[in-house]
Structure 1
Amino acid sequence: MKNKIAVLTGGTSGIGKSTLEKLITFGTTVILLIRNREKAETLKAEVLKNYPNGIIEVFEGDLVSLKSIKSAAEAIKAKFPVIDILINNAGGVFSELEKTEDGFEMGFQVNHLAHFLLTNILLDNLLKSKEPRVINLSSEAHRIGKLDMGNLNAEKKFGTWKQYGATKLMNILFTKALANKYSSKGLNAFAVHPGVVKSSFGANNGGILKYFNKMPFLITPEKGAETSVYLATQDISKLSNGAYYKRSQIAYSSLESQDIDAQNKLWDISVKYLKDFL
């Protein structure tokens, strides 16, 4: 892992922060895609104080703005001709129907569309790596998700957990589509259930979601980061391309997530939605 280049979203807190700290110990250069530069620079100083030989680069890109993500991705692409690892870690759950500046339901854009855009812009640079890897954080909540092609953007109806589950299902469908489309070029893609982690998840909401992190069964962010770090650092020959992992082992995802037709349809619809940015 020494001298590898990794791009990480959601790296300033929770699972992402722990992932950053672990990757630094492997000698990996970590590129943080962040929305709050001040917070990121404070974290960078904190991490480098403990790991003075580490390298952290910071780029501003907000998942709620596709223009912002495109700009950041192009800047990363220009500075780093070869990218070895992309960890699409950021995500969120939203208790009410909210729209981004691009007109998409918040969860659909933050959990899927923005990462789909980021991945596709960085794809050429990833494919220049000897062992390119894309790691998408999903969730066991994908099992409650249903892929309604006419309601991806909550056009017909919105339910907090149904929409969250649907976007986590999208993460796995996207992962498997990536593996199917680009494995012949050496790309490996993995989906991850990190566990139910005590982090800032749900803190942006009111109601019961605001108290999510007070639940007694939550695991630590350090524990939650283990599978992502495992997939980023393990010998590639020991990993299964396109697979869903939890507790650093292959797990069975839902039957719907394994539907090749659904994988391809989601890909095509995502490209259509992002036609002005790709």
Structure 2
Amino acid sequence: MNFWSLSKAKNKEGKIAIVTGANAGIGFETTKGFAKIGIITIMACRNLEKAKKAKDEILKIYPNARLDIIPIDLAELSSVKEFAKTFKKKYDSLDILVNNAGVMMTPLQKTSDGLEYQMATNYFGHFLLTGLLIPVLEKSFRSRVVNLSSIAHKWGDIHFDNLNAEKGYNPRKFYAQSKLACLIFAYHLDRKLVNKNYNIHAYVAHPGVSKTNLMQHLPKFFKFLSPILMPLLSQSAKRGALPILRASLDDTLNGGEYIGPSGKKQYKGHPVIVDSDYHSKDEEKAERLWKVSENLVGFNYL
């Protein structure tokens, strides 16, 4: 089978992209992929020191890469608004928005906005960011929003009565909820954009089981077994970034597709169109989540 690869991305030089969490893991490899084919990439990062090191590392490989760093903390809505304002002052269009930044199974934390930390970072911050950037995305031809989900989206559901850990907290369940929310958001966003005749499409991708720093909060027993299990089940961050790169760059996609690894249980493999669970396709749930999200971030769009 002739699988998709970065070499198939044509005529992308000079396009403008934003990658959140661009300094490490999947975000870093996505940024590096964009740099290779001449895309102007804004590295949207919380830690500016790490972002600068990542930028320098990419420039050593691709000296002509056009990279810009703009600070953002996805867990803080005020920071998301400030990022969007800064971006729009510097750039008048946007071709690709990659909503990549994320945390995984962290201890219970609440943001200054009263949001649970995983939901805020993985989902709510990106929901707001996307809405704020719709006007600049609309100025480009067939621009794209790419959300990152996870095979973990199958572990749970959206618990509207406990979205922000008002009634208890389980790190695993809240991670699953956040990644299911990202998937529901992508599908529903694409439907809304099509219905309103916007020149934008939304996609969603997941990296399978990839070796990144997201693993730091996993249970101790898994960390103990990881030297044995990880080589069997996982792939490199570079390989894990391929579904995100395909969702961002493949001109044969129509909009609304979910891209993930081709292998068993979608743990690793080539980037192909994959399926998601029934919760992610529930349009009533999607509409309810959208309205709740608008209320919680204080911004309405589409």
TM-score over 0.5 for the pair:
yes
Please say if residues 92 and 202 of structure 1, whose CA atoms lie closer than 8 Å, have aligned partners that are also in contact. Answer: no
Give yes or no for the alignment of 1:267 onto 2:301.
Answer: no
Please say if residues 205 and 247 of structure 2, whose CA atoms lie closer than 8 Å, have aligned partners that are also in contact. Answer: no
Give yes or no for the alignment of 1:102 onto 2:113.
Answer: yes
- Indicate the percent of aligned positions where both proteins have the same amino acid: 36
The amino acid of 1:125's aligned partner reads: V
Alignment partners' CA distance in 2, 1:212 and 1:274: 39
Structure 2 counterpart of 1:54: 65
Residue among 155, 166, 173 paired with 2:184:
173
Compute the displacement of 1:49 (Å): 2.0
Structure 2 counterpart of 1:66: 77
Residue among 258, 263, 276 paired with 1:244:
258
Compute the displacement of 1:208 (Å): 4.7
- C-alpha offsets along residues 158-211 of structure 1, whole Å, 9 cap, x if unaligned? 212111111111011100111011122121111112111101013257745766
Alignment partners' CA distance in 1, 2:134 and 2:178: 21
Range with greater deviation from structure 2 (148-157 or 219-228): 148-157
Alignment partners' CA distance in 1, 2:219 and 2:141: 45
Please say if residues 81 and 129 of structure 2, whose CA atoms lie closer than 8 Å, have aligned partners that are also in contact. Answer: yes
Compute the displacement of 1:20 (Å): 0.7
- C-alpha offsets along residues 89-141 of structure 1, whole Å, 9 cap, x if unaligned? 11111342211122111111011000111111111100111011011110111
- C-alpha offsets along residues 196-245 of structure 1, whole Å, 9 cap, x if unaligned? 1101013257745766864332210000000111121211xx11311211
The amino acid of 1:198's aligned partner reads: K
Residue among 200, 203, 218 paired with 2:216:
203
Range with greater deviation from structure 2 (150-159 or 19-28): 150-159
Structure 1 counterpart of 2:243: 227
Alignment partners' CA distance in 1, 2:185 and 2:102: 15
Alignment of 1:1-278 (within 5 A): 1-183=12-194, 184-203=197-216, 207-208=220-221, 214=227, 215-216=230-231, 217-235=233-251, 238-247=252-261, 248-275=271-298
Please say if residues 191 and 245 of structure 1, whose CA atoms lie closer than 8 Å, have aligned partners that are also in contact. Answer: yes
Coordinate RMSD, CA, aligned: 1.9
Indicate how the Cα distance of structure 1 residues 212 and 149 shifts in structure 2: closer, same or farther if over 3 A, else same.
farther
Secondary structure of the residue aligned to 1:185 is coil
Indicate how the Cα distance of structure 1 residues 212 and 6 shifts in structure 2: closer, same or farther if over 3 A, else same.
farther
Alignment partners' CA distance in 2, 1:36 and 1:105: 20
Please say if residues 145 and 167 of structure 1, whose CA atoms lie closer than 8 Å, have aligned partners that are also in contact. Answer: no
Tell me, which stretches of 5 or more residues in structure 1 are unaligned? none
Indicate how the Cα distance of structure 1 residues 154 and 210 shifts in structure 2: closer, same or farther if over 3 A, else same.
farther
Secondary structure of the residue aligned to 1:202 is helix
Q: How many residues align?
A: 276
Please say if residues 94 and 160 of structure 1, whose CA atoms lie closer than 8 Å, have aligned partners that are also in contact. Answer: yes
Please say if residues 12 and 34 of structure 1, whose CA atoms lie closer than 8 Å, have aligned partners that are also in contact. Answer: yes
Q: What TM-score do you get using the length of structure 1 for normalisation?
A: 0.94
The amino acid of 1:226's aligned partner reads: L
Indicate how the Cα distance of structure 1 residues 96 and 49 shifts in structure 2: closer, same or farther if over 3 A, else same.
closer
Alignment partners' CA distance in 2, 1:213 and 1:82: 43
Secondary structure of the residue aligned to 2:215 is coil
Indicate how the Cα distance of structure 1 residues 211 and 96 shifts in structure 2: closer, same or farther if over 3 A, else same.
farther
Alignment partners' CA distance in 2, 1:42 and 1:16: 14
The amino acid of 1:241's aligned partner reads: G
The amino acid of 2:292's aligned partner reads: I
